[in-house]
Amino acid sequence: WLTNSTPYPSQEERSGLLNMTKIAQGGRKLRKNWGPAWVVLTGNSLVFYRERPPQSAPSQGWAPAGSRPESSVDLRGAALASGRQLSSRRNVLHIRTVPGHEFLLQSDEETELRAWHRALRAVIERLDRE
């Protein structure tokens, strides 16, 4: 939905299963469609997979081998905020990228979402300083 290009290699910072919905693409509002996604945070991107790659798959650098990301977004200049006002769900994060792609990430585990918030903030702040 965003780009078919593969993000350039960058180290994985965090990965896990989250609920995700896009809410805008290129500034145009989309209808919500919540669903599970295997999310990988690298040093510069957030990459979405339809499902968790097999545990046995050898990692090829940053990418789970044998699986293609469904989509990815460049986090440089992205805005990160609570998604509280945008959803009735609890523990929701809102991310808006420079090209105006927006999505929500959610977990029923508060500690899990907090950890994602910290990790995303660290990556975005690091990119801001570069």
Nearer to ligand I3S, 32 or 114 (CB): 32
Residue closer to ligand I3S by CB (options 104, 124) is: 104
Question: How near is the Cβ of 60 to ligand I3S at its closest, in Å?
Answer: 35
Largest CA distance in the chain: 40
Q: Which residues contact 116 (CB under 8 A, 6 or more apart)?
A: 14, 16, 18, 39, 41, 93, 105, 107
Closer by beta carbon to ligand I3S, 31 or else 129: 31
Q: How far is the CB of 64 from ligand I3S (least distance, A)?
A: 28
Chain positions contacting ligand I3S, by CB under 6 A: 31-32, 34, 87-89
Q: How far is the CB of 113 from ligand I3S (least distance, A)?
A: 14
Beta-strand (E) ranges in 26-129?
28-29, 35-42, 45-49, 59-60, 63-64, 71-74, 79-82, 92-96, 102-106
For residue 127, report the phi and psi dihedrals to the nearest 5 degrees. -65, -35
By C-beta, is 89 or 117 nearer to ligand I3S? 89
| Minimum CB distance to ligand I3S, residue 32 (Å) | 3
